[in-house]
Amino acid sequence: MAVGGHPSFGFDKLRPTIFSGIDSHIAPHKQFLFSAAGLTAQTALDEAILDIPHARGSAFERGLLGGGIGTTVFYLTIGRQGSVSDVDFMARTHALTKTQVTLIYGSVAALHAFRISRDPNYANFFARGRPDGRAEVGIQFGVP
């Protein structure tokens, strides 16, 4: 709406999608901004969590950070292709190539992952040690 589009929800080959309502041939800059908004907002939220002083390490915060990095990784790998891919739409506006979009968002996500791995408040964020000295990587549901 901020760029003059009329977003709508729909499906593309059974995939839920938000359509911008912007004709990318008439207003490619507006389409670029619409397509970049989600990844940019997620990146800005992760950056705020990592920069703003507060009590760190809550499960909610870890979920937001993990979800942000995971979403970025998805969009820059599997979600990079497809008729409704935001990365593909950004490339179609000819503002940036897919490789440039990948390098920009991917490097910021990698930097966030590095910062998380170096902060003791996020200990065991990506993996945790076991008593026998080996590492566990994965997700655990339920009570440990």
| 4 secondary structure, DSSP code | S
Domains of the chain: total: 1
Domain that holds residue 91: 24-125
Q: What is the pLDDT of residues 16-35, one digit of tens each?
A: 777 777 887 888 888 888 88
User: The pTM is what?
Assistant: 0.74
Q: Is residue 17 part of a domain?
A: no
139 backbone dihedrals φ, ψ, rounded to 5°: -120, 140
Question: Quick check: is 93 in a domain?
Answer: yes
Each residue's pLDDT tens digit, 48-95: 999 999 888 888 888 899 889 988 888 888 877 776 788 888 888 888
> Is residue 74 one of the residues assigned to a domain?
yes
Q: Which of 143, 84, 71 is nearest to 113 (CA)?
A: 71
For residue 142, being part of any structural domain is answered with no
Q: Is residue 3 part of a domain?
A: no
110 inside domain: yes
In a domain, 131, yes or no: no
- 9 part of a folded domain: no
